A and B are shown apart, each in its own frame.
Chain A
Amino acid sequence: MDDESLEDWFCREVLPLERSLTHFIRRNTRVADDVMDLRHDVYELAITGARKGLPDSTRAYLFTIARNHLINRAKRARIVSFDLVADLEAIDKDIDLLEAERHLDARDALRQVQAGLENLSPRVREIVRLRKIEGLNVRETAERLGIGKDAVNHQLMMGMKALADFMAGGPGKIVRPKLVRRRKKDAKP
C-alpha cells in the first residue's frame, strides 16, 4: 500500500469519523487534555495497520484500535474500571447514530467551513480570509495588517488547526500553547 492511497483512504474514510472517535475517547478518558494525544495515537496505529491492506470496514477497524489502545493504556495506568470496559463494549451502538455526518454534500461542506471561520477570533479569521479569499501570502498579509511575519505565521497555524478541529466536529477553538498543561511522557504508550 503506497502512501498516496493511504492518504486518500485516511481523508476519505477515517477523517469523517473524527467526531465520533473524539466523542468516544473523551467519554473514556479521565484527563481532558489527553483526548487529542490519544486520537493522534489512534490515527497513527490505524495508518500503520492499514499499510498491509485497507480494512473492509474502516469504522469497525478504527474503533477496535481505539478500544484496544484505551484498554492498554488503562492497564498500564492500573486504573481499569468496570465502567470503562462496559462502555467500551458499547461502541457499536454509538457510531451508527453518527454515521449520517459522513455524507456531507458540497453545500454542507461550505457551510461547515463558514461556521468554522466564524468560530475563529477576529484577527485569526481575518488572516485566514486574506489567505483564502484575497490570496495574500504571509509577507503581504504582514504588510497589509502592519504586523510581523512571525505573528502572521503563528496565527495562520492556529487558524489552520482550529479549522481542522471544527470541521471534524470538535469545538474548533484555538488552542493557545499557554493553556495546555505539560504532561508526563510516561502517560503515553
Chain B
Amino acid sequence: MSRAQQANDRAAQFIIAQEEGDWDETSKAQLGAWLAECDGNKAAYWRLKHSWRKADRIGALGHGIMAAEQGNRRSRRRWWIPAAAAAAIMIAFGGVYEQWPQKFSSPHQTAGYETPVGGLKTVALSDGTHIQLNTASRVRTSVTARRREAWLESGEAFFEVAHREGAPFVVHVGDRQVTVLGTKFSVRRDGNKVKVAVLEGRVRVEELEDGRPVRSAVIVGGDIALAENAAMLVTSRSAQAVENALAWRQGMLEFNQIPLSEVVAEFNRYNTRQIVVTDADAAAFRIGGMFPASDPDAFVRLLRDAYGLKVVKSDSLIEISS
C-alpha cells in the first residue's frame, strides 16, 4: 500500500473513531502523535475531514434526499428500495414502525417482519405470497408490479409464492439469491451457511459476486441445497428430508437418527433456556423422532427415561451428561 493510501486510511479511521463516542484522551493523543509525524498525514486528515464535514449537508435535507433520486430510475432501483426497506426494517415489531411519506412508498410495498426466539408467524404479502417465519428470524420484503423481493437477514422462512407471470420472486440470502416463479420452499440462514429446501416447483439458487450471479443451480421439489461460501451441495429426491426440514411449520422438530449434539442445537434455536451436552459420549447419541420445538422439557424427560442420561436443570440451562 502506498504512503498516500496509508495516510488516507489512517485518517479515515481516526475520523470514524472520533464520531463513535468512545473518543477519549488516549485516542486524542494518538491522533496528535500521528499528525505530528509528517505534514502528509495532516494533509490527508484535513482533506478527508473537510469533505466529510461538507457531506453533513445532506443530513439537513433529511429524507428529502430521496426526492432527488426519484427522477433517476436506475439509481432508484439500485439504492432507493434497499434503503427504504432497510430503514423500515423490522421496527414493525418494536411497535415503532415508521411510515414512509406516501409519495415515496406508493409505488412499492416494503415491510419488515421478525420473530423472537421460539416465535412462529405467517405473513401475507399484497401479491398473495405467504411467508412463514421460524424462530428468531428476520425478513424484509419489497413488492412492485415488476419485481418481488425478500431479504432473509437471519433465521429461516418458508415461502409459498403466488405465481405471477413476468414478475419473478427473488429471495436474497447473503451473497446468494433464490429466484422462483411460483412454488413452495424454505430458506434458512445460519451465518454463511444457506439451506434451501423445496417442497414443490422449481427454484434457481445463484451465488453472487459484486451483484452478478457467478454460479447457479436449479433445484426442484424434494431437493435440498446446502451452500456455504463457494461450495454448494444439492441432495436430490429426498421428499422425507424436506418434510423433516419443514416440520417446524407445525411447531415440531423431526429428526432421523441425528447425533444428540445437532438435535440440541436445533432445540436451542427455539428456546432461550439452552440445553448443553457436557460429554462426548452423550453428544454422539443418535436420536430419531418428532418433538414439539417449544417443549424442551418433554424432550429431555425422554432422554432421561428412555436413554438413561443424567439431566440437571436450572432456570437458564439444562445440562445433559451420560
Point out the residues of chain B lying under 8 angstroms from A135, CB to CB. Answer: 59
B2 contacts A180, C-beta separation under 8 Å:
yes
Q: Is B48 an interface residue (CB 8 A)?
A: yes
Contacts from A to B (Cβ < 8 Å): 3, 6-7, 10-11, 15, 18, 33, 36-37, 39-41, 43-48, 51, 106, 109-110, 112-114, 116-118, 122, 125-126, 128-135, 137-138, 144-146, 153, 156-157, 160-161, 163-164, 167-168, 175, 177, 180, 182-183, 188
Point out the residues of chain A lying under 8 angstroms from B89, CB to CB. Answer: 144
Q: Is B302 an interface residue (CB 8 A)?
A: no
Known contacts A128-B55, A138-B16, A180-B1; is-contact A110 B48 (Cβ 8 Å): no
A133 contacts B82, C-beta separation under 8 Å:
no
Binding site of A, secondary structure by majority: helix, strand, loop or mixed?
helix
Alpha-carbon separation in the docked complex, A25 to B78 (Å): 34
A43 contacts B55, C-beta separation under 8 Å:
no
B82 contacts A122, C-beta separation under 8 Å:
yes
B16 contacts A117, C-beta separation under 8 Å:
no
Residue among B39, B52, B57 making CB contact with A110, cutoff 8 Å: B57
Q: A36-B5, A117-B65, A132-B58 provided; 15 other pairs, C-beta below 8 A?
A: A40-B7, A43-B47, A109-B54, A113-B55, A114-B58, A117-B55, A125-B83, A128-B55, A133-B62, A137-B20, A138-B16, A146-B153, A156-B16, A160-B16, A164-B48
A40 contacts B55, C-beta separation under 8 Å:
no
Would you give the shortest CB distance from A50 to chain B, in whole angstroms? 9
Alpha-carbon separation in the docked complex, A48 to B4 (Å): 16
Point out the residues of chain B lying under 8 angstroms from A33, CB to CB. Answer: 2
Interface size of B by CB at 8 A reads 52
How many A-B Cβ pairs are below 8 Å? Answer: 150
Binding site of B, secondary structure by majority: helix, strand, loop or mixed?
helix
A37 contacts B4, C-beta separation under 8 Å:
yes
Point out the residues of chain B lying under 8 angstroms from A116, CB to CB. Answer: 55
Which residue of the partner chain B has the closest CB to A34? B2
Would you give the shortest CB distance from B58 to chain A, in whole angstroms? 5
Alpha-carbon separation in the docked complex, A106 to B68 (Å): 17
Known contacts A133-B62, A133-B65; is-contact A113 B43 (Cβ 8 Å): no
B83 contacts A129, C-beta separation under 8 Å:
yes
Alpha-carbon separation in the docked complex, A19 to B89 (Å): 40
Known contacts A15-B50, A177-B1; is-contact A160 B15 (Cβ 8 Å): yes
Known contacts A146-B138, A164-B51; is-contact A134 B4 (Cβ 8 Å): no
Would you give the shortest CB distance from B315 to chain A, in whole angstroms? 27
Which residue of the partner chain A has the closest CB to B12? A157
Point out the residues of chain B lying under 8 angstroms from A18, CB to CB. Answer: 47
Alpha-carbon separation in the docked complex, A73 to B76 (Å): 46
Known contacts A10-B43, A156-B16, A160-B15; is-contact A126 B86 (Cβ 8 Å): yes
Q: Is B9 an interface residue (CB 8 A)?
A: yes
A161 contacts B48, C-beta separation under 8 Å:
yes
Would you give the shortest CB distance from A46 to chain B, in whole angstroms? 8
10 A-B pairs with the lowest CB-CB distances in the bound complex, closest first = A40-B4, A43-B43, A44-B40, A164-B51, A47-B39, A157-B12, A11-B50, A37-B4, A146-B153, A44-B39
Point out the residues of chain B lying under 8 angstroms from A37, CB to CB. Answer: 2-4
Which residue of the partner chain B has the closest CB to A164? B51
